[in-house]
Amino acid sequence: MNAEYKEIEVEVPPTNNITSDILAISFDSLSSPSIKVRLPDQLVGTHPLGWGIAWYPNDNQAAFVKKDPAARGTDVQMESLDDWNNFRSSMFFCKAKGAARGYTYNEMQPFSRSFAGQDWLFMHNGDLDRQKLAQLHLDKSRLLEPLGNTDSELAFCYLLGKVMATDARKLSDVPSDILLSWFQQLDALGSADMCISDGVTMACFYGTQSERKLYYTRMTPPDAPNELNADTMHIGFNDPRDTYRTSFIVSSMPYDKASWMPMQPGQLLIIKRGVIVWNSQPNNSQLAFQLPESLNKPALAFKQMQAGQAQRGQVHAAVVNVRSIIRTEDGRALGYRMFDVTHATEYNYTEAIEHSTHIFRLQPVEDSVQELVHSQIMISSEGEEIRFEDVFGNQSMFYSINQPYTALKIQINTRIKLYATPPDDFSLSQRRANIPLVWMPWQRQMMMPYLLPPELPETQLVELTEYAMSFVKRNDYRLIDTLTDINLSIYRDFKYVPAVTSLATTPFEVYANRQGVCQDFANLFICLARLLSIPARYRMGYIYTGAHYANKIQSDASHAWAEIYIPYVGWRGFDPTNGCMVHQDHIRVACGRNYMDATPTSGTIYKGGGTESLKVEVKVTEVS
């Protein structure tokens, strides 16, 4: 390849130590990067040069490790690993240049050890006080006895011993602050740049006494580079199957492309499926974005008004209206917010229209949390109207015009009250459902319109399914965490760019180009949910952005988001355009399987018209 690479200054370690270059990659799905190690032809100093690479083929529990503790020059180009297309994994560890005289395969990193039904991988850059480390590693069981003589492997055994002592079976079972404390104990013994993985989660720690830097970056399509180059390693991302993969990379050297952030001394990053899930030293960088804490925190959805032990069981008072709940269980006040909404649509035609029919879905929902104070619709041309509730429960108007017109203006003025509700309680076993969801046959039949994904080529649906499953696996198959992750990831990784899509834009095109508007993001969210057998529907309405959202333009048009049916909870709104749950800023109007079921205005021209032009104005203001 003839790509140009900018020069980067690489710190060269003194020849009397064995500091190495390490590389750890976490992908959101199976990938086949091409990793090549470049070592000098001539040996410098007293230490031989070596390399090692490890991955989990097809994400199985067993890791594959290949090493050469005494290699140099062009013969280390990993001829036996040329066919990278067959080496698919979401996790890769690589270490190069570090070895000591007399090192054998047992002493060369990365290290692999079977524990709790899966192989764990470990890498370490630096030197630890072996005598103090041996005193720290009190577990003398044969299970955790090192094979080699390095301080690195002893540190690996120490960490696994701590995991075993907590009865954890995987990294995600260990509280993040506890895991950090273990690394801090090792950090006190010397330079402790370390990466450990159980095949799903990867933890990377940058020591306070390190002689080298550690950097990280997150690369997302479609702008991710096809290759990265540095003095010691080359990484290629050329497999066509991996075009839409997201990767998170930790390295001891910044490569020639991508935006690299230096880790801070004492910082611990926990990465899962291409995303930081915990950061001990968060900052405002986009690269440092991490998922929020799990939503699985008990919070009562409805206040128990009265409880007592009766002869035949517990007595519960019924909540007749959610609006009657004025405080949460922890005492926070619940009130309402009131908004005025004006939605004006104007059509203009170059030729007079003699006959047309229309469907208007402009009246907001009236239910327990949304009160319609008043609503008035004005139509510039006289016609015959029929008001009705459509099959999706939308308040609709059929309007037939039989007299000529060249301009048609439809305007609705509405005042709405939005009542606050207590947070949902997802702690109950049925509500805290895992994926896959179990539906009774009659439930699946009732939900079928909201379970069918759009008609797309099979290859595109397979790619979208892999993308959807990356969220499931990253969140250990937990329903609410998966949905929250999808919502935030679309908000974070996709650009809000008006006028780059149309009504014909498919979810796959949005996924491939990573840009669009609220309608596109809602359609993608709905598609991903349905591919996971989670009922999802399209919701049209309005949003009051005020000073709280970056996308102020959303207040000047109708807004769209997704609604998900959660077992034993009901329909709940997710707004991927803003990365938030739907609450008191969102005014609900119409819903359906897709945009066509919930479009505010639609119609058919039977005679006349010529060229059409459209103008839409929306204004949402909060009433004190």
- Per residue in 161-170, pLDDT (tens digit) is 999 989 999 9
- Check pLDDT > 50 for residue 305: no
Q: What angle do CA 526, 616, 556 make, to 5 degrees?
A: 70
**Distance (Å, rounded) from C-alpha 354 to C-alpha 406?**
9
CATH number at residue 182: 3.60.20.10
**Model pLDDT, residue 313:** 53
Query: Positive or negative CA dihedral for 384, 387, 389, 394?
Result: positive
Q: Are residues 590 and 494 in the same domain?
A: yes
**Model pLDDT, residue 353:** 94
CB 407 within 8 A of CB 356: no
**Distance (Å, rounded) from C-alpha 84 to C-alpha 67?**
16
- Tell me which of 118 and 104 has the higher pLDDT: 118
| DSSP structural state of residue 446 | H
**Distance (Å, rounded) from C-alpha 57 to C-alpha 43?**
33
Q: Is residue 119 part of a domain?
A: yes
Q: Is residue 204 part of a domain?
A: yes
Mean pLDDT value across residues 396-416: 96
Q: Are residues 482 and 547 in the same domain?
A: yes
Token pair of 510, please? 């949005």
Q: Are residues 367 and 397 in the same domain?
A: yes
DSSP run (H or E) holding 483 = helix 479-493
CATH number at residue 536: 3.10.620.30
Q: Are residues 118 and 188 in the same domain?
A: yes
CB 563 within 8 A of CB 540: no
pLDDT category at 3 given cuts 50, 70, 90 is very low
pLDDT category at 307 given cuts 50, 70, 90 is very low
- Tell me which of 369 and 38 has the higher pLDDT: 369
DSSP state string for 353-419: EEEEEEEE--SPP-SSSEEEEEEEEEESS--EEEEEE-TTS-EEEEEEE-S-EEEEEEEEEEEEEEE
Among residues of the chain, what percentage have pLDDT more than 90? Answer: 66
- Check pLDDT > 60 for residue 293: no
**Model pLDDT, residue 106:** 85
DSSP run (H or E) holding 184 = helix 176-187
Determine the residue type at 375: S
Determine the residue type at 29: S
Q: Are residues 343 and 445 in the same domain?
A: no
Token pair of 526, please? 């709905």
Determine the residue type at 592: G
CB 492 within 8 A of CB 510: no
Mean pLDDT value across residues 9-35: 71
Q: Are residues 116 and 172 in the same domain?
A: yes
Among residues of the chain, what percentage have pLDDT more than 70? Answer: 82
CA 512 to chain CA mean position, Å: 15
- Check pLDDT > 80 for residue 26: yes
Token pair of 347, please? 């059509």
Q: Is residue 14 part of a domain?
A: no
**Distance (Å, rounded) from C-alpha 399 to C-alpha 253?**
66
Q: Is residue 285 part of a domain?
A: no
User: How many residues does the structure list for the chain?
Assistant: 624
Token pair of 180, please? 């950090």
Q: What is the pLDDT of residues 180-216, one digit of tens each?
A: 999 999 999 999 999 999 999 999 999 999 888 999 9
Domain extent, residue 87, equals 21-279
Q: Are residues 490 and 575 in the same domain?
A: yes
Q: Is residue 300 part of a domain?
A: no
Q: Is residue 476 part of a domain?
A: yes
Q: Are residues 393 and 469 in the same domain?
A: no
Mean pLDDT value across residues 125-137: 86
- Last residue in a domain, options 263, 279, 295: 279
Q: Are residues 38 and 76 in the same domain?
A: yes
SS (H, E, C) 311-354: CCEEEECCCCCHHHCCECCCCCECCEEEEEEEEEEEEEEEEEEE
**Model pLDDT, residue 78:** 52
Whole-number average pLDDT of the chain:
85
Q: Are residues 111 and 230 in the same domain?
A: yes
CB 131 within 8 A of CB 201: no
| DSSP structural state of residue 290 | B
Q: Is residue 306 part of a domain?
A: no
- Check pLDDT > 80 for residue 100: no
Angle between helices 518-531 and 479-493 (to 10 degrees): 150
**Model pLDDT, residue 347:** 95
Tally of structural domains, the chain: 3
β-bridge mates for residue 585, sequence order: none
pTM of the model: 0.85
| DSSP structural state of residue 116 | T
- Check pLDDT > 60 for residue 14: no
Strand, helix or coil at 256? Answer: coil
**Distance (Å, rounded) from C-alpha 409 to C-alpha 10?**
66
Beta-sheet strands, E only, within 105-163: 111-115, 118-125
Q: What is the pLDDT of residues 102-114, one digit of tens each?
A: 667 788 899 999 9
Mean pLDDT value across residues 158-179: 93
| DSSP structural state of residue 612 | E
Q: Are residues 351 and 248 in the same domain?
A: no
- Check pLDDT > 70 for residue 507: yes
DSSP run (H or E) holding 581 = strand 580-581
Strand bridging mode 536-543 / 307-310: unpaired
Which region among 28-37, 526-535, 554-563 has the lowest average model confidence (pLDDT)?
A: 554-563
CB 537 within 8 A of CB 563: yes
CB 122 within 8 A of CB 110: yes
CB 87 within 8 A of CB 121: no
CATH number at residue 387: 2.60.40.2250
Q: What is the dihedral of CA 512, 515, 520, 524, to 10 degrees?
A: 40
pLDDT category at 401 given cuts 50, 70, 90 is very high
Site of tokens 């333009």: 553
| DSSP structural state of residue 424 | P
CB 502 within 8 A of CB 553: no
Site of tokens 């066919």: 83
Q: Is residue 298 part of a domain?
A: no
**Model pLDDT, residue 315:** 56
Q: Are residues 469 and 592 in the same domain?
A: yes
| Nearest by Cα to 9 from 255, 236, 185 | 255
pLDDT category at 309 given cuts 50, 70, 90 is very low
DSSP state string for 31-63: E--EEEE---SS--SSS---EEEEE-GGG-SS-
CB 68 within 8 A of CB 58: no
Strand, helix or coil at 125? Answer: strand
Residue 391, CA atoms < 13 Å, CB-side half-sphere: 5
